[in-house]
Structure 1
Amino acid sequence: MKHPVPLRNLIQIALVVDDIERALDAWCEVFDVPRPEVRVSAAEPNPNELYRGEPAQYGLKVAVVDCSERGFVIELHEPDANPSTFREFLDAHGNGVHHLGFQVGDARDDVVGELESKGFPLRNVGVYPGGSWTIIDGEGTLGVNLNIKPRP
């Protein structure tokens, strides 16, 4: 590939779980780390996020286990029943690794474009203050999705 995903820039391992409280307790015990806050978002239309080309509207519980000494974080996501990339994954696979996140800086559009040209479709795009994410559908070929981020 002309624009490969840089392995040295792995910043995130994201898991989808059916019970975030139970999963978070277990991860914190395994790593012997403080329990982070669980953030909850409501199922409201989000004009800054597209899922499979349509505006997203789903609720989500999220917790971030800080592994910054290793250069990455572990995110836990518990989706509600509404259509989302996380609900799609949970329904298809149960608990598991939804995506690996990579920071690619200014190469974001080139990396995403090349992955799409290689048959990896765009699944989810979201923008938030100070950043964005792009989920590339890699489940069928790679066994996991990719989150291509321009910056942290």
Structure 2
Amino acid sequence: MCATHGTTSQTNGSSASTGQQSFLGNAIEICIVTRDHKRTIDGLLRLGIGPWKSYTFTPENTTNQTYRGKPAEFTLKVCFAQGPNVVYEIIQPVSGPTIFGEFLDKHGEGIHHVAYDCHGIPWEERMAGFKERGFELAQSGSWQGRNHFAFFETEDATTTCFETYFFPDDWEDPVADEVYGLPSTE
């Protein structure tokens, strides 16, 4: 779920060691789940990761919300920073059933998922591709009705949750709730 999604390079995703093409494509985002997004942003800013844009995903601005295959209302604080090769994301669950709250209960704070571009294939094909490979949908939604995101039940098989998301070509970031800049070097 990335607001500052940038451009991804198109590669064939082939693996020299296996001779197979990767369904996932390129890693485009790394997400940390936290109980306190401001504390986590502060630490990452001190490491030079930022600036950050913070948004609140609610049932009012995020449609088609699902949890474990059923409609569900949830609210998340979601923050983005564009790195040179990857987007950094922070998610703080606020309310409703989420895989992010489950992660906090089970593992505590930390890296929750990696998002992949699936070589830019159409959204429906991505969804079908995960299902064909035996991975059920864990959580999904459409932020602003146009940024589709989906998380899959890949943790048991891979130790990590995987996400894919889609932005239309004409996407423009909404106004952020808050912006956190890098500290001045003066």
Instruction: Give the TM-score range, shorter chain.
Output: 0.7 to 0.9
3-state SS of paired residue (2:47):
helix
What is the number of residues matched between the two proteins? 147
Q: What TM-score does the superposition give when structure 2 sets the normalisation length? A: 0.67
Query: Within 5 Å, which residues of 2 pair with 1:19-98?
Result: 19-31=36-48, 33-34=50-51, 36-42=52-58, 47-67=63-83, 69-70=84-85, 72-98=86-112
Report the equivalent of 2:133. Answer: 118
Give the number of the structure whose residues are more often helix, by fraction: 1
TM-superposed CA distance for 1:116, in Å, is 2.1
Q: CA deviation at 1:75?
A: 0.5
| CA shift digits 1:1-59 (9 cap, x unpaired) | 776111xx22111111111111110011112543x233234576964211112222222
* Structure 1 residue aligned with 2:153: 137
Does structure 1 conserve the Cα–Cα contact (< 8 Å) formed by 2:33 and 2:91? yes
Distance 1:49 1:66, change over 3 A: same
Could you tell which deviates more after superposition, 123-132 or 87-96?
123-132
Label 1:107 to 1:75 Cα distance change in 2 as closer, same or farther (>3 A): same
Percent of aligned pairs with the same residue? 27
| Alignment map for 1:7-26 (pairs within 5 Å) | 9-26=26-43
Q: Distance in 2 between matches of 1:76 and 1:58?
A: 16
Q: CA separation in 2, counterparts of 1:53 and 1:45?
A: 20
Judged with a 3 Å threshold, the aligned counterparts in structure 2 of structure 1 residues 121 and 42 are, in CA distance, closer, same or farther, namely closer
Can you give the 5+ residue segments of structure 1 that lack an aligned partner in the other structure?
none
Q: TM-score, with normalisation over the residues of structure 1?
A: 0.81
Two-structure CA RMSD over aligned residues (Å): 2.5
Q: Which has the larger radius of gyration?
A: 2
Q: Which runs of 5+ in 2 are unaligned?
A: 1-19, 169-186
